[in-house]
């Protein structure tokens, strides 16, 4: 039986395999956007694109008649529900101007390490982005021999922020995304590659963007393990199916490791 004849006899399958490309397109655009904005790394984004396009392709050649309808329902549900879990990302997008100002203050502080004004502005931005330990270390450095009367507000901030930095709730050390070196809180550039590694954390923030990235990875892994892997094993030819399953498991394991280690 040709594909056209199968579609003619199964109208529900036909419409499901057509409509599913609406959420597939949304997923593709979302993963590309997340990669461009730095919310997820390239590997996670690439696997997400493959899973989205693969689920759309499976709707044309499903192992059972109910599969296209189930895939359409699943992808539509995730597409509609996921934005509700992304309030932090939406707010972050609206704060783009503030992020750019924070990056500018950071680069000024890196180029002029002795400039107190740029350092104090940067400390406020770091605190707002959740980098509390780094903000405290920066204030302590520039207030070490400062006049408390002149810098009364900065000393007041230091006194308020220091207990938070010592609470253990915020990271005292951060990993450079370029070389992997772990840097202490007082490092303005990476000790190993000398790159302004905090720029990535200023853009991502700590907690908000990191949790969103982990949420994206978790949803992707669940869809892959519960849907994509079983479909690959049953719908593809035996040899190709085994390869597809192994590749997805390996990539999924690496993504899970990265999500847990960051």
When pLDDT is averaged across residues 50-55 and rounded to a whole number, the result is 88
Residue 163: the pLDDT is 92
Answer yes or no: is pLDDT of 147 > 80: yes
The Cβ of residue 57 has, within 10 Å, a number of other Cβ atoms equal to 14
Please state the domain extents for the chain: 3-85+229-261, 94-204
Provide the whole-model pTM: 0.47
Higher-confidence residue of 85 and 186: namely 186
Determine the Cα–Cα distance for residues 94 and 34; give it in Å rounded to an integer. 15
pLDDT, one tens digit per residue, over 182-240 is: 999 888 899 899 888 888 888 764 433 445 677 778 888 888 888 888 888 887 888 88
pLDDT, one tens digit per residue, over 115-142 is: 677 788 888 888 888 889 999 998 888 8
pLDDT, one tens digit per residue, over 201-216 is: 887 644 334 456 777 7
Return all residues near 128 (Cβ < 8 A) that are at least 6 apart: 98, 102
Determine the Cα–Cα distance for residues 14 and 65; give it in Å rounded to an integer. 10
The Cβ of residue 124 has, within 10 Å, a number of other Cβ atoms equal to 17
Determine the Cα–Cα distance for residues 202 and 94; give it in Å rounded to an integer. 15
Q: At what angle do helices 87-94 and 208-223 cross, to 10 degrees?
A: 130
Determine the Cα–Cα distance for residues 108 and 91; give it in Å rounded to an integer. 26
């Amino acid at each position: 039986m040709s594909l056209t004849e199968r579609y003619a006899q199964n109208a529900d399958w036909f419409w499901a395999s057509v409509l599913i490309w609406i959420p597939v397109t949304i997923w593709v655009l979302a993963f590309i956007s997340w990669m461009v904005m730095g919310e997820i790394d390239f590997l996670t984004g690439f696997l997400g694109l493959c899973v989205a396009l693969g689920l759309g392709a499976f709707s044309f050649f499903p192992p059972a008649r109910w599969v296209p309808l189930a895939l359409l329902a699943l992808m539509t549900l995730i597409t509609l529900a996921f934005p509700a879990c992304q309030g932090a990302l939406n707010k972050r997008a609206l704060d783009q101007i503030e992020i750019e100002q924070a990056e500018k203050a950071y680069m000024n502080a890196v180029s002029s390490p002795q400039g107190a004004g740029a350092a104090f502005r940067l400390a406020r931005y770091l605190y707002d982005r959740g980098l509390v330990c780094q903000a405290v270390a920066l204030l302590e450095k520039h207030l070490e021999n400062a006049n408390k009367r002149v810098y009364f507000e900065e000393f007041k901030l230091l006194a308020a922020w220091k207990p938070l930095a010592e609470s253990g709730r915020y990271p005292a050390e951060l990993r450079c995304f370029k070389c992997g070196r772990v840097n202490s809180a007082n490092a303005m550039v990476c000790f190993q590659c000398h790159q302004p590694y905090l720029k990535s954390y200023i853009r991502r923030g700590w907690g908000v963007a990191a949790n969103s990235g982990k949420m994206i990875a978790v949803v992707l892994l669940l869809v892959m393990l519960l849907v994509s892997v079983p479909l690959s094993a049953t719908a593809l030819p035996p040899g190709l199916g085994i390869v597809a399953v192994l590749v997805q498991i390996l990539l999924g394991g690496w993504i899970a490791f990265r999500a847990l280690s960051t």
